Structure 1
C-alpha cells in the first residue's frame, strides 16, 4: 500500500510539471512615452496561450490554439475579432513563450520577427467551427478571417494595421478595413 502511495505521489509531481500553466508578464515603455502591458497565460494541457494586451482602447485579447493551429485576436477599438491560421514554422512554440518570461532582450537587439495578415471583408458566420477557446473569445462580436501575406507583400507599410504580437518576442500585424465597424 505504501508503494502505491509513493508511486502516486511521484506521478503527481511529474504530471504537475508536464501539465503546468505558465504566466508571462511584459511591460514596455514606448518611445512616445506610452506604456503597454501584456500578460500571457499558457495552458500546456490544452496547448493554448491566452494573451491580454492592456492598452486602454487600443488593447486586445488573443487566443493562440496550437491544437487547432489557429489564432484569434479581439480588437477592442475595432469591436471585431480576427481569426487566422498559424504559421507553425514562424510562431513561437508554447515552450518558447514559457521561457520568454526569464529573458529580456539586450539593448540594440534587432526587432522581433513578425508576420502580416490581410483581413477579409467577409464575416465568419460560424465562429464555433474554430473550437471552444476561440468561440468564447469571439462570440457575439463580428468576426473576420485573415490570411498571411506572402512574398513581396511583406514589405508594405504597417500603417492601418493593428499590432497584435507579443512585445519583444513576436509581431503580428492585422491589416485591412473591417466593414461595418
Structure 2
C-alpha cells in the first residue's frame, strides 16, 4: 500500500469551493452615508439661519433702543407721527430739560402750528408750498416769537400793529388738528 501521496491526492475529488454569501448591509451602507451627509448639510444650514436670525434680532433691538433713547443714551429729541389721510405731520420736540413743544405741519391747509408745554399761548403761521421751513427753523422762530408775546391776549403792542404778531379771534380759519393743539390757550399769527 505504498502509494504515493501524490496519487492519493489526485484520486480524491478536489474540495468544492464556493463564494461566501455577501453580508446584507453593503447596499444599505451607501444609503446610510447619503442620509448622514444630508442631515449634516441640513443642520449646518439651520445653524446659519438661526445665527442670522439672532444677529438680526440683536440689530433690530439696538436700532429700536437708539430710536427710543437717542444716540447718546438720553431721550430722543424729536418724535414724528404722520397721517396721510389728513396730510399732516406732528412733531414732539424737546426744547430743553424742562420744556417740550409740539409742532404740527398741516399740508392740506398750509398751516404750521406751534405750542410749547407748558406755554401760555400757541403760534400759527402760513406755510409756503415751495419753501417749507425745517423743523429747527420753525422751533427757533416760534421760540423767539413766544418771548415777545404779551402776557394778556388782548394787550396791543407795536409789533402786533406792524403785523408780526396778531391775536387770532376766529378759530374757524384753522384746521381741526391745530384747533385741538391750541384749544385752551390764545392763538397768535406769527
State the TM-score, normalizing by the size of structure 2.
Answer: 0.44
- The higher relative CO (CA closer than 8 Å, separation ≥ 6) is in 1
Structure with the larger helix share: 2
Structure number with bigger Rg: 2
Name the structure with the higher strand share: 1
